Amino acid sequence: MAATTSWPARSSTSCSATRCTRRTSSLYLGNVMLLLINIFCIPVFASVARVPFRVLAPVIVVLCVIGTYSVNGSIVEVGIMLACGVLGFFMRRFGMSPAALVIALVLGPLTEETLHQTMIISGGDPTIFVQRTTSAVLLVVIAVLVLVPVVLPRPRVAVAAWLAAVGQRRSADGADPAETTETTGHR
């Protein structure tokens, strides 16, 4: 009976010294080539800024439609892409950040899955989020960041009004802010 030797399957992370050196040096060479191409093509890339918007916008829309359709060959996905573009246009028009929506769409499922895993580990007990000091402090900071715009819809206006009131009180007390600046050199 012949003995058989079982060899482990090669993984992409294990390699000989020469093979790893070749891979690493090819990555460095690729980065150097990209750097040179980008440096010498900066005038070409900058010339895109000189193209009128009425020409550039249709080209961008056509490239987006072709790219979206080429992934899965689905007209429905092209419609979703166009709807998201219109949504982004109106969000920007009304002063909202489309980037926040994109971040929420990307991180939302990951956050939901992590929350689900955490609740399974804790047995459904939500106090797991405040058991450690770091997580409790982060939750308080998040709550403050969410509530401040609700409580003070315009913090800059409120701060400006407060500073104007302080300035009026100082001038009413007889101390001219311009005089104190000239005599002390400080405001």
Q: In the predicted model, is pLDDT for residue 23 greater than 60?
A: yes
Q: Quick one: pLDDT at residue 182?
A: 47
Give the pLDDT mean for 135-161.
81
What pTM was estimated for this model as a whole? Answer: 0.46
Q: In the predicted model, is pLDDT for residue 18 greater than 90?
A: no
Q: Quick one: pLDDT at residue 164?
A: 84
73 compared with 162, residue with greater pLDDT:
73
For the chain, what percent of residues have pLDDT higher than 90?
36
DSSP assigned state of 14: -
Q: Quick one: pLDDT at residue 165?
A: 85
**Angle of helix 75-93 versus helix 98-122 axis, rounded to 10:** 110
For the chain, what percent of residues have pLDDT higher than 70?
82
Q: Quick one: pLDDT at residue 67?
A: 94
| Token pair of 93 as six digits | 């028009």
Instruction: Name the nearest CA neighbour of 67 among 59, 44, 102.
Output: 59
Q: Quick one: pLDDT at residue 140?
A: 93
Give the pLDDT mean for 151-161.
71
Give the pLDDT mean for 82-104.
89
Predicted confidence band at 58 (pLDDT cuts at 50, 70, 90)?
Answer: very high
CA distance 181 to 33: 57
Instruction: Name the nearest CA neighbour of 88 among 76, 100, 77, 106.
Output: 100
Predicted confidence band at 17 (pLDDT cuts at 50, 70, 90)?
Answer: confident
